Amino acid sequence: MSLVTATIKRDLVIAARNPGEWLNPLMFFLMVLALFPLAVDPDPKFLSKIAAGVVWVAALLATLLSLDALFKADVEDGTLEQWLASGESLFAMALGKVFVHWCISGLPLTLVAPLLALMMNLPDEAYSALFFSLLLGTPILSLLGAVGAALTAGVRSGGLLLSLVILPLYIPILIFGASAVYHAGIEMEYVGQLGFLASFLCLSMTLAPFAVAGALKLNLSR
Amino acid sequence: MPLSRPIDQLNRFTAHCDLSAHQVSCERDDRILFENLDLSINKGDLIQLVGPNGAGKTTLLRLLAGLNQDFDGEVRWHGKNIQQCFQDYARQRLYIGHLSAIKKVLTPLENLRWFVSSWPQVKEDDLWQALEEVTLAGYEDVPCQQLSAGQQRRVALARLLITPTPLWILDEPFTALDKAGVAWLEGHLARHVSAGGTVLITSHHALSEIPGLRQIELGVQK
């Protein structure tokens, strides 16, 4: 077994033994969607109009919440130093780390979002659009977020800095994701938006790991 | 119980071990740590870097391990710059920093499995045997957070028994070890050197009893 697959396996085991870490963002997602109808107008028509945007914003913020810890533990306990010392490809390592992050944050969000969208009275036609836009969109959030997490891994209380670095990059994803769901809700074509998300995903999958590897190297070679 | 396999493998590897530093200078925060340092490390050497705190021992060690590129001069492995043959070099040396890269929620066995994942020739039995040798028999399946600092250090040091690399670079390996542990490690370092291995170590601990010890003092010039 190579070091990359061993790391993926190990990180999944760690996540399974530390459920609090990845359940927290999921709980946040649940609470936002549960509280929104209580705080604003509970009128179903109004809710169904804003549902797409609210679900997407909540998913984005929940991802942001989980990013801070992505590389922090590995930097602090010396795991990253051992990665670097092993001479294995940092690109593959970064991709593996992001994959695990998506498995414990983006994937559960994508799976529960249709259930929670029920509380926001999302139009029936929009459920598949919601699922597919999140399926394409959350890996992008993880990939872009990993760049910020890698840059701020060595910084104390880097969470705020991370949000500042990453949020501008998230805005196009939010716009295309939410607009896909909204257009599906008013029975319009939404393939275009999903196409944009898919191309963003390809782009970030090929470029983001380079940036992550570079940032981590920078962080460690001090 | 003595381990036979790793030593056999060592003898195979140690036909050559040639690490050298040429005119290496390093500066941190406008303070010169060392200047125009020349160093040649060959098969069978045991080199201890000594010096007061902040003298640059760890910096020099990381630089020789190829983890730090922020310096002037060149470090060569068999006459080639280590950054140009990093993968080859990484497979020939073992680096254990003062951060042990032990994951606290995992057991000693799981931690070791990750460390040796890029060495397919290391068998599961070797891991059990190595843990027994560092007197952690019976703790194989206990999460590391329940072990003492000294026991966690022993888990990290168990890598010395199973990773078949001729060159060991160890940063303060005696930290947190008890008397028996220190004696065991000293004996093991001496065995490695007499089997043709090479050890580069920083320690405030007096290693005087090991034959062939060479000390390099840092931080003498002010």
> What is the rounded distance in angstroms from the CA atom of residue A154 to the CA atom of residue A167?
20
- Confidence label for B221 from pLDDT (cuts 50, 70 and 90): low
- Nearest CA-CA distance, residue B87 and chain A, Å: 5
pLDDT digits (tens, 9 = 90+) for A60-76: 999 999 998 899 889 88
Q: Is residue B87 less than 8 Å (CB to CB) from chain A? A: yes
The pTM of this model reads 0.88
Mark yes or no for CB contact B106/A14 under 8 Å: yes
> What is the rounded distance in angstroms from the CA atom of residue B11 to the CA atom of residue A143?
44
> What is the rounded distance in angstroms from the CA atom of residue A54 to the CA atom of residue A120?
9
* Mean pLDDT (whole number) for B162-175: 90
- The amino acid at residue A73 is A
What is the pLDDT at residue B3?
Answer: 47
Closest A-chain CA to B65: A85
Smallest Cα–Cα separation from A4: which of A102, A89, A104?
A89
Phi and psi torsions of B68, nearest 5°: -125, 125
Instruction: Name the CATH code of domain B5-14+42-52+86-217 (choices 3.40.50.300, 3.40.50.360, 3.30.930.10, 3.10.129.10).
Output: 3.40.50.300
Contacts of A86 in chain B (CB under 8 A): 90, 118
Mark yes or no for CB contact A85/B67 under 8 Å: yes
Contact B146, B108 (CB under 8 A): no
Query: Max alpha carbon distance in chain A (Å)?
Result: 58
The residues with which A102 forms a beta bridge, in sequence order, are none
Contacts of B110 in chain A (CB under 8 A): 10, 13
Whether the pLDDT of residue B12 is over 80: the answer is no
pLDDT digits (tens, 9 = 90+) for B120-159: 888 888 899 999 988 888 898 899 999 999 999 999 999 9
The residues with which B40 forms a beta bridge, in sequence order, are B20
Close Cβ partners of B104 (under 8 Å, ≥ 6 residues apart): A77, B143, B144, B145
- The amino acid at residue B122 is V
Q: What is the CA radius of gyration of chain B?
A: 17
With a cut of 50, list the residues of chain A below it in pLDDT: none
Contact A184, A128 (CB under 8 A): yes
Q: Is residue B67 less than 8 Å (CB to CB) from chain A? A: yes
What is the pLDDT at residue B11?
Answer: 47
Q: Where are the domains of chain B?
A: 5-14+42-52+86-217
What is the pLDDT at residue B15?
Answer: 54
> What is the rounded distance in angstroms from the CA atom of residue B77 to the CA atom of residue B84?
9
- The amino acid at residue A35 is L
Mark yes or no for CB contact A10/B103 under 8 Å: yes
What is the pLDDT at residue A145?
Answer: 96
Looking from the CA of B216 toward its CB, the CA atoms found within 13 Å total: 20
Contacts of A10 in chain B (CB under 8 A): 103, 106, 110, 114
What is the pLDDT at residue B164?
Answer: 84
- The amino acid at residue A22 is W
* Chains A & B: contacts with CB separation below 8 Å: 70
pLDDT digits (tens, 9 = 90+) for A78-89: 898 898 888 888
Contacts of B117 in chain A (CB under 8 A): 1-3, 5-7
Looking from the CA of B149 toward its CB, the CA atoms found within 13 Å total: 8
What is the pLDDT at residue A215?
Answer: 92
pLDDT digits (tens, 9 = 90+) for B23-32: 988 888 888 8
Name which of A81, A91, A218, A219 to mutate to probe chain B: the one with the most chain B Cβ atoms within 10 A of its Cβ: A81
